[in-house]
Structure 1
């Protein structure tokens, strides 16, 4: 039996991301991913049973990285506003530094919404973010709205701006980010 190699797994991950970003989910075949990774299709099947398992694994990897970054920013100290602002800005940092990862996650997130697939790990990540927002409501920092509503009000503009920056290959300026966050914050702050 052949052993698995982390360098090959990483090459498969990067090739899957590049294939999805270049051609969408439908255009990213195992053959295309293998070609981009410089590996045989058989090698990919040594790591993953098929395209769905591969995409799910890469999606979880990317989401873990983004989530770790958001949580590090949230727990960096300070007020509830500083924690939420830190998470908001961490999303842009990640999108700027890893635009292909961000675009891949967007493709998979949209597909998962359409087919209704859920992941306990992704749900747990969302719950961790929700707890930060809930604490801000309980402390009187944010208006008393449902957590999902506050999350949508915060994340919607951030995701849209991050998408735009990835597509245009031009991140928003610090001033633009600060202005946008403050405008959103004024709408939800108590």
Structure 2
């Protein structure tokens, strides 16, 4: 059997860390458990990362950056409704393909695993998404609600469906995602805006 490449080893470690955090939480996750799940020696992890915290931070930044790239690609849509719709469906495509990764970025974000410098360096991700939502509010597509409320209404169903998929190994149906978007859209759309 051929020896795994460094990138393949890193991907195994990433998948193992994400699964450990999703199952046990950040506090109960250990380097040893990640190594065992990844099928690598603990020393192999220390070749890639300085500590558990370093591993959490680097993998969080990697997944967060990938996720962010998918979401902000919607900024080029011609209308704000299409932009919000694309953001939503890109988020759900990510959730469908990587439910544990989505849960990991939610858990790691809530646990504030980043250093102050790392948090500052990645603050642009929230700023860009906030600007996209604010654009939709400013042009009258989305109701005049605080951006944080709109964000919560958009993200909460994704988190619920990620948990459902991860815990029950259920496939998200297109009909389920479509109807969920339509119901969320009703809650955030400006009243005078046609659907």
Tell me how far apart the structure 2 counterparts of residues 164 and 76 of structure 1 sit (CA, whole Å): 31
2:28 aligns with 27
Tell me how far apart the structure 2 counterparts of residues 76 and 169 of structure 1 sit (CA, whole Å): 33
Tell me how far apart the structure 2 counterparts of residues 62 and 151 of structure 1 sit (CA, whole Å): 19
User: What are the equivalent positions in structure 2 for 1:147-166 lying under 5 Å apart?
Assistant: 147-166=147-166
Contact 2:103 2:162 survives alignment (8 Å): no
State the shift of 1:127 in Å: 1.1
Tell me how far apart the structure 1 counterparts of residues 152 and 19 of structure 2 sit (CA, whole Å): 28
List structure 1 runs of 4+ shifted beyond 4 angstroms: 115-118
Tell me how far apart the structure 1 counterparts of residues 142 and 158 of structure 2 sit (CA, whole Å): 18
Sort the Cα spacing of 1:178 and 1:98 in 2 relative to 1 into closer, same or farther, 3 A. Answer: same
Tell me how far apart the structure 1 counterparts of residues 24 and 156 of structure 2 sit (CA, whole Å): 25
Q: Secondary structure at the match of 2:40?
A: coil
Contact 1:95 1:166 survives alignment (8 Å): no
Sort the Cα spacing of 1:154 and 1:19 in 2 relative to 1 into closer, same or farther, 3 A. Answer: closer
TM-score between both structures, scaled by the size of structure 2: 0.81
Deviates more, 1:175-184 or 1:55-64: 175-184
2:193 aligns with none
Contact 2:96 2:172 survives alignment (8 Å): no
Tell me how far apart the structure 1 counterparts of residues 145 and 133 of structure 2 sit (CA, whole Å): 10
State the shift of 1:36 in Å: 2.6
2:167 aligns with 167
User: What are the equivalent positions in structure 2 for 1:128-147 lying under 5 Å apart?
Assistant: 128-147=128-147
State the shift of 1:178 in Å: 2.0
The Cα offsets for residues 139-166 of structure 1, whole Å up to 9 and x where unpaired, read as 1111222222222222223322333233
Q: Secondary structure at the match of 2:111?
A: helix
Tell me how far apart the structure 1 counterparts of residues 85 and 166 of structure 2 sit (CA, whole Å): 20
User: How many residues align structurally?
Assistant: 185
2:101 aligns with 101
Contact 1:13 1:58 survives alignment (8 Å): yes
2:83 aligns with 83
Question: Which 5+ residue runs of structure 2 have no aligned equivalent?
Answer: 191-195
